[in-house]
């Protein structure tokens, strides 16, 4: 007999399966060494159960703990932030599995598994992830059931009869999970979603790529290797043409010779400027600087579902006006969220694609920012820009001349050569190979050196049109372009990349690169690689449509829930919600209790006795009735004497009945007994 405090074999199997599933779901944002350590812990646990490897000593466990903490500091630099804290939690989970000896230790491992599985929802709220988390919970419940059920010591004959014993915890766990689903649905429908009781720290070591608030020439070629989704967009009407889809993100005005960044004016601290506050929040008063933009024609409205970026800036088409709470329009006409986007976020926007911005005048302060170049950098470009300035009649002619230079001599590639201190000089006069970051950076520097105000704009361009009439914008759609100020016209968009590779703007990045092997190099498992295979591409689009519908439903559920409760309860207040929960929840729990107790009211015999009485009825029809007071074993012996042809079957059934009635085994053999009696008939 296995002691009650010891972990049974069947329970250990389900515990390790649950452990592997929980670690696997977090592997994408965990350091590789933690995943490897988890694998070693599983192997050690199995070998420890077999008695091959010893239990880790106290010094070994303390050493492993110190190594984990040191590894996390080396990996992240600190332990604050979502990813470092999750990595620390998973490390503790792994170490606890390693030192687990008694059932109370195993129970702690199970409770940790529930929490760690739920934490995955902070990283991914897709429908596929939700289904996987439910699968993890099922395995964890199976482990919990196994811990409360002892191993059954089976004979060779019994093992042949009861092959399903190993799956018993999983079946019981599935029943428990199914019983909990009605209550879960009730809580989801009625309970309002509350704000978190703590602030989830911003990820400090995110594995996702995205547009940042600085730009070096090589940054966007890095993003061109990733197929990760940036955001999806649904339009109220037709999707604009591809060359109109410039998703404006950040305005970068400061250049230190190597890197572009936002200027000191581009602060979202909310401080007041001479021309008004920097931010114009949705629902608040309009700032004076809003009059600098002239919106022409009719607006287009669209809804954006943005993936987590860990940054506060949002993306929109030109001249946006936010239509969602918590979204602001900045002084340079890009959108800002009230908090970093750490989870899927939905917002609505109106945009005017026909516009003029600051057409009449540009302040001296703004001109000084948009004309500044770092002294001592790129002397050849400065000399050429000033010479061309003298040779051209106006700013537009100069722009055309520079774009002509790009069109004639430059190559668009994801694998440009490295650049030194004078990056613009080396790019324009030597390498002449680059990506959008190279073209926009060199163009803006050239225009500033020629005395024309210019700046870099970072964001995305284009997107994949889904058959369900929405747009998918991915990381490889990241793009940088230029804005140049022309007197009488204001800020106009100039995209030098279009002069080098117009197919990048009119089609997509893949068309522009052709057979360039760098495309999607960072996403080797992406289905985007197989778009030429019709059935795989169709499957990819259907899966994305399902995920998008799920995301929009979840993100918009607050208003759906409020309308539903007002319709059902007449008013949306805490008292009515509490009463609804009490009545509906109590009713569900009562039904579950009645279902569990149903056999107590149906017969004075339990199910095992009813099965044995069915055997007696079968034998009575064969002419061998059971006598009053005759015990099961005596009855079986008499049947064997009168009908030798039935002796083996009847004695076998009686042996199982006695073992179940007076032994330590559960009720899972009832099905086998029923089948045996059915064959006897």
Tell me: pLDDT of 556 over 60.
Answer: yes
Number of H helices, E strands in the chain: 25, 22
- What the block records as the tokens of 618 is 């079968």
Q: Tell me what the mean pLDDT of segment 39-60 comes to.
A: 86
Contact 234, 241 (CB under 8 A): no
In a domain, 627, yes or no: yes
Cα gap 442→429, rounded to integer Å: 11
Contact (Cβ atoms closer than 8 angstroms) between residue 235 and residue 301: yes
621: Cα within 13 Å, side-chain hemisphere: 7
**pLDDT attached to residue 214:** 80
Question: What percent of the chain clears pLDDT 90, i.e. is strictly above it?
Answer: 26
pLDDT in tens, 420-434: 888 889 889 988 888
DSSP code per residue over 19-35: HHHHHHHHGGGS-HHHH
Mean local confidence (pLDDT), 585-597:
73
Give the per-residue pLDDT at 596: 67
For residue 560, name the pLDDT band (cuts at 50, 70, 90): low
Domain shared by 417 and 517, yes or no: yes
Of 147-156, 273-282, 329-338, 504-513, the range with the highest mean pLDDT is: 329-338
pLDDT of residue 220: 60
- What mean pLDDT comes out for the span 251-276? 66
66 in a structural domain? yes
Residue 18 in domain = yes
Across residues 110-118, what is the average pLDDT?
Answer: 92
Give the separation between CA 402 and CA 499, rounded to whole angstroms: 10
**H/E element, 383:** helix 379-391
Segment 534-554 shows an average pLDDT of 84
Same-domain check for residues 422 and 303? yes
Q: What is the pLDDT of residues 6-21, one digit of tens each?
A: 677 888 899 999 999 9
Place of tokens 């004016």: 265
In a domain, 546, yes or no: no
Q: Is the pLDDT of residue 251 over 50?
A: yes
Answer whether residue 157 shows pLDDT above 60: no
Range scoring the smallest mean pLDDT among 20-24, 131-135, 505-509:
505-509
Give pLDDT, residue 98: 86
Strand partners, 321: 350
Structure tokens at 331: 């002084």
Least confident of 100-114, 318-332, 412-426: 412-426
Q: Is residue 198 part of a domain?
A: no
User: For residue 275, is pLDDT > 50?
Assistant: no
- CA–CA separation, 638 and 624 (whole Å): 9
* Active-site option among 26, 136, 350, 436: 436
436 and 370 within one domain? yes
Could you tell me the pLDDT band of residue 153, with boundaries at 50, 70 and 90?
very low
Write the DSSP string, 501-519: -HHHHHT-HHHHHTT-TTT
pLDDT band at 493 (very low <50, low <70, confident <90, very high): very high
247 plus 349 within the same structural domain: yes
Choosing from 572, 596, 620, the residue where a domain stops is 596
- Mean per-residue pLDDT of the chain: 81
Counting the structural domains of the chain, the total is: 4
Confidence class for position 572, pLDDT limits 50, 70, 90 = low
Spatial separation of the C-alpha atoms in residues 547 and 541, rounded to whole Å: 10
499, 409 in Cβ contact below 8 A?
no
Find the distance separating the first CA and the last CA of the chain, reported in whole Å. 37
Which of 581, 596, 611 finishes a domain?
596
Looking at residue 402, its pLDDT comes to: 92
Listed in order, strand segments (DSSP E) in 363-448 are 411-412, 433-434
| Number of Cβ atoms within 10 Å of the Cβ of 207 | 11
Kindly state the average pLDDT of the residues 21-43: 90
Specify whether 415 is located in the same domain as 440. yes
For residue 71, give its domain range. Answer: 9-190
Q: Is residue 455 part of a domain?
A: yes
Residue 608: how many other CB atoms lie within 10 Å: 15
Same-domain status, 348 and 481: yes
Closest CA to 500 of 418, 426, 433, 450: 433
Return the pLDDT at 308: 85
Q: In Å, how far are 45, 102, 285, 617 from 59, measured between CA atoms?
A: 18, 20, 65, 67
- Looking at the structure, tell me whether residues 268 and 352 fall in a common domain: yes
pLDDT band at 518 (very low <50, low <70, confident <90, very high): low
Those residues whose C-beta lies under 8 Å from the C-beta of residue 528, and which sit 6 or more positions away, are 227, 474, 520, 540
115 and 250 in one domain?
no
| CA 259 to chain CA centroid, nearest Å | 31
- The CA distance from 182 to 502, in Å, is 55
Identify whether 479 is a catalytic site residue.
yes
Residue 399 pLDDT grade (very low, low, confident, very high; cuts 50, 70, 90): very high
What pLDDT score was predicted for residue 155?
A: 40
Give the pLDDT band (50/70/90) at residue 292.
confident
Q: Is 495 among the catalytic positions?
A: yes
579 and 483 together in one domain: no
Q: Are 638 and 631 in contact (CB under 8 A)?
A: no
Query: Tokens 């095992």 correspond to what residue?
Result: 608
pLDDT > 70? residue 193: no
Residues 211-234 pLDDT 10s = 777 887 666 656 656 778 899 999
Helix or strand holding residue 66 (H, E): helix 58-76
Q: Which of 131, 155, 190 is the last residue of a domain?
A: 190
Q: What is the 3-state secondary structure (H, E, C) of 622-659?
A: CCCCCCCCCCHHHHHHHHHHHCHHHHHHHHHHHHHHHH
Most confident of 7-21, 121-135, 441-455, 639-653: 441-455
Show the tokens assigned to 406. 């790009």
Claim to verify: residue 504 and residue 567 sit in the same structural domain:
no
pTM of full prediction above 0.75: no
Is a pLDDT exceeding 60 seen at residue 649?
yes
Does the pLDDT at position 674 exceed 90?
no
Same domain, 167 and 242: no
Q: Are 142 and 175 in contact (CB under 8 A)?
A: no
Three-state secondary-structure class, residue 55: coil
Within-domain flag for 402:
yes
Position 557 pLDDT exceeds 70: no
Q: What is the mean pLDDT of residues 128-145?
A: 91
Identify whether 551 is part of a domain: no
What gap in Å lies between CA 474 and CA 105, rounded to an integer?
45
- Beta-bridge partner residues of 347: 304
Residues 255 and 308 in one domain: yes
Segment among 347-356, 516-525, 560-569, 649-658 with least mean pLDDT? 516-525
CA atoms of 14 and 147, how far apart (whole Å):
9
Q: What one-character DSSP code corresponds to residue 494?
A: E
């Amino acid at each position: 007999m296995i002691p009650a405090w010891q972990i049974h074999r069947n329970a250990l199997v389900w515990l390790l399966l649950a452990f592997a599933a929980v670690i696997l779901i977090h592997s994408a944002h965990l350091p590789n060494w933690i995943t490897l350590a988890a694998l070693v812990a599983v192997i050690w646990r199995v070998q420890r159960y077999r008695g091959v490897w010893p239990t880790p000593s106290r010094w070994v466990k303390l050493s492993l703990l110190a190594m984990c903490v040191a590894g996390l500091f080396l990996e992240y630099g600190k332990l604050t932030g979502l990813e470092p804290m999750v990595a620390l939690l998973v490390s503790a989970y792994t170490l606890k599995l390693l030192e687990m000896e008694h059932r109370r230790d195993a129970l702690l491992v199970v409770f940790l598994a529930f929490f760690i599985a739920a934490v995955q929802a902070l990283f991914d709220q897709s429908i596929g992830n939700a289904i996987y988390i439910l699968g993890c919970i099922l395995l964890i419940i199976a482990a919990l059931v196994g811990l409360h059920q002892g191993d059954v010591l089976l004979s060779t004959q019994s093992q042949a009869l009861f092959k399903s014993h190993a799956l018993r915890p999983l079946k019981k766990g599935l029943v428990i999970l199914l019983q909990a689903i009605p209550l879960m649905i009730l809580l989801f429908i009625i309970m309002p979603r509350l704000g978190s009781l703590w602030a989830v720290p911003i990820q400090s070591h995110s594995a996702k790529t995205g547009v940042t608030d600085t730009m070096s020439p090589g940054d966007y070629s890095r993003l061109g290797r990733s197929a990760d989704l940036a955001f999806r967009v649904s339009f109220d009407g037709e999707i604009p043409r591809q060359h109109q889809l410039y998703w404006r993100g950040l305005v970068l005005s400061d250049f230190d010779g190597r890197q572009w960044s936002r200027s000191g004016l581009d602060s979202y601290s909310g401080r007041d400027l001479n021309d008004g506050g920097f931010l114009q929040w949705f629902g608040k008063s309009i700032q004076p600087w809003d009059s600098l933009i002239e919106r022409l024609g009719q607006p287009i409205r669209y809804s954006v579902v943005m993936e987590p970026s860990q940054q506060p800036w949002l993306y929109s088409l030109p001249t946006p006006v936010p239509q969602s709470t918590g979204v602001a329009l900045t002084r340079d006409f890009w959108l800002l969220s009230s908090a970093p986007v750490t989870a899927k976020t939905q917002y609505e926007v109106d945009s005017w694609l026909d516009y003029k911005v600051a057409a009449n005048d540009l302040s001296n302060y703004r001109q000084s920012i948009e004309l500044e170049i770092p002294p001592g950098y790129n002397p050849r470009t400065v000399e050429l820009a000033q010479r061309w300035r003298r040779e051209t009649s106006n700013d537009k002619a100069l722009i055309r001349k520079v774009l002509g230079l790009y069109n004639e001599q430059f190559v668009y590639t994801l694998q440009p050569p490295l650049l030194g201190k004078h990056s613009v000089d080396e790019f324009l006069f030597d390498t002449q190979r680059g990506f959008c970051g190279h073209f926009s950076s060199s163009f803006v520097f050239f225009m500033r050196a020629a005395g024309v105000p210019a700046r870099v704009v970072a964001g995305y361009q284009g997107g994949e049109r889904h058959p369900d009439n929405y747009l998918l914008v991915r990381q490889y759609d990241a793009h940088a372009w230029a804005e140049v100020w022309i007197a009488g016209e204001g800020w106009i968009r100039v995209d030098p990349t279009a002069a080098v590779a117009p197919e990048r703007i009119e089609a997509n990045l893949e068309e522009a690169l052709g057979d360039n092997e760098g495309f999607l190099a960072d996403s080797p498992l992406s289905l985007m690689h197989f778009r030429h295979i019709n059935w795989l591409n169709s499957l990819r689009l259907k899966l994305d449509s399902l995920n998008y519908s799920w995301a929009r439903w979840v993100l918009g559920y607050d208003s759906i829930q409020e309308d539903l409760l007002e319709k059902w309860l007449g008013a949306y207040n805490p008292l009515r919600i509490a009463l609804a929960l009490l009545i509906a929840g109590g009713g569900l729990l009562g039904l579950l209790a009645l279902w569990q107790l149903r056999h107590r009211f149906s017969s004075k015999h339990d199910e095992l006795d009813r099965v044995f009485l069915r055997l007696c009825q079968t034998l009575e029809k064969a002419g061998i009735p059971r006598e009053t007071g005759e015990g099961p074993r005596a009855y079986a012996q008499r049947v064997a004497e009168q009908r030798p042809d039935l002796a083996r079957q009847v004695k076998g059934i009686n042996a199982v009945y006695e073992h179940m009635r007076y032994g330590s085994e559960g009720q899972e053999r009832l099905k086998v007994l029923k089948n045996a009696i059915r064959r006897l008939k």
